[in-house]
Amino acid sequence: MVTAAANRRGTRSPADEASPAAAPDVAEAAGLQLSGVQELPWLVAALAATLEHQKGHAVMVHADPGIGALEFAFGLAQAWLCESGDGAQRPCSRCVSCRLTRAQTHPDLMLRLPQHLALQHGLAVEYDDKRKPSRQIRVAELRSALDWSVTTSGRGHGKVLLIHPAEAMNAVAASALLKTLEEPPAGMRIVLTTADPGLLLATISSRCQRVVLPRPERADSLQWLQQRDVADAAMLLDATGGRPLTALRWHAEGLDARAWAAIPSAVARADATVFASWPVPRMLDALQKLAHDAALRACGAEPRFFPRASLPDGLDLVAAARWQQSLLRVMRHADHPWSEGLLAEALVIEGAQIWQGVRAPSPSTRPQPRAEFSGSRFPNA
């Protein structure tokens, strides 16, 4: 069982990983800790519909990242385990079982998340301090959950295994889960989440009832963020591609509209210091969005992620296409143990070349890329 606060002191904030906000205390302060769908109004109707129409013992929740797939799966598990009487709305939030799931101490609920995501949600995980938190659900972690699944239910109302996201299981772990999906122990239910069912084994997808979560309306997302005192909610929502939970996390990490809007001009000046302390996946995400928006603006279309006024004029489309290829190559190896600063310098200097007429800093001030991060040394897929 992954439990929450009890072992927080035993966990380490992975400063070199997803974000400083992965620290449980920051997650708690920002309201990022795991809850059900009660806090996410755009998912309430979807949960009620799923409970009404659910058949079988396994559900796959398909949703874009950052809109609440984990919270939905958690709410579904809470409803399945709720002990309120017939006819009551589930989850009732009042019964012993609902209180236990909310406290993340229910003996019949097992969560399996990669370590870095568990930390983001303030869940206690154990890992080697010398290594980065895992981005995979390891085979041993899944097997221990399957061993747990055949033990007697603690409260006599069945058991629930929640896996988020299912694509974090490697092939061996997925194969181990398959047998339980085919022949689950009595009273066992499984809920998986995924951002891309195409990444999963077809034999897993075919054994689950699929639930596709709706994207929240922009107005609903803005209201939700503003209720949580997120300044610059509109720009942060655009920056995340309309993902309110991601926008809330970025806000908690200290990213504001001014810093986001400063990225295009900084890249045009070949100034990589704008990404100081950014983890590589976050920096690559921002650079890809910038390349996307720069191309849109050059074609006369409205940018999607950055304010129009923040984007320099004079794009060189050939250089932009070359830069996008470089970013894609690095994206395929985002988990490689990069030297963040050197990688940022190399990518930003290449990015600066896409804007014609934007003068780069003089050689005396321009950051020099190290040889190992020249474009030709990026790993090829």
Question: Which residues in this chain contact Zn ion in the complex, by CB under 5 A?
Answer: 82, 84, 91-92, 95, 98
Q: What DSSP string runs through 229-244?
A: T-TTHHHHHHHTTS-H
Distance from C-alpha of 365 to C-alpha of 249, rounded to nearest angstrom: 34
From the CB of 36, what's the least distance to Zn ion, in Å?
Answer: 11
Residue 307: burial class (beta carbons within 10 Å; 0-12, 13-18, 19+): middle
Tokens 């910038």 found at:
290
From the CB of 190, what's the least distance to Zn ion, in Å?
Answer: 20
Give Cα separations from 14 to 105, 132, 317, 336 (angstroms).
24, 7, 38, 16
From the CB of 74, what's the least distance to Zn ion, in Å?
Answer: 14
Of 36 and 68, CB closest to Zn ion: 36
> Which one-letter amino acid corresponds to residue 82?
C
Of 11 and 50, CB closest to Zn ion: 50
Per-residue DSSP letter, 48: H
Of 7 and 84, CB closest to Zn ion: 84
Of 81 and 268, CB closest to Zn ion: 81
Of 102 and 249, CB closest to Zn ion: 102
From the CB of 93, what's the least distance to Zn ion, in Å?
Answer: 6
From the CB of 105, what's the least distance to Zn ion, in Å?
Answer: 15
Of 92 and 234, CB closest to Zn ion: 92
Show the 3-state SS of 52-121. HHCCCCEEEEECCCCCCHHHHHHHHHHHHHCCCCCCCCCCCCCCHHHHHHHCCCCCCEEEECCHHHHHHC
Of 22 and 82, CB closest to Zn ion: 82
Assess contact for 289 and 305: CB atoms under 8 A.
yes
Least Cα distance to 178 among 193, 194, 190 occurs for 190
From the CB of 53, what's the least distance to Zn ion, in Å?
Answer: 20
From the CB of 90, what's the least distance to Zn ion, in Å?
Answer: 6
* Radius of gyration, alpha carbons of the chain: 22
Distance from C-alpha of 203 to C-alpha of 174, rounded to nearest angstrom: 10
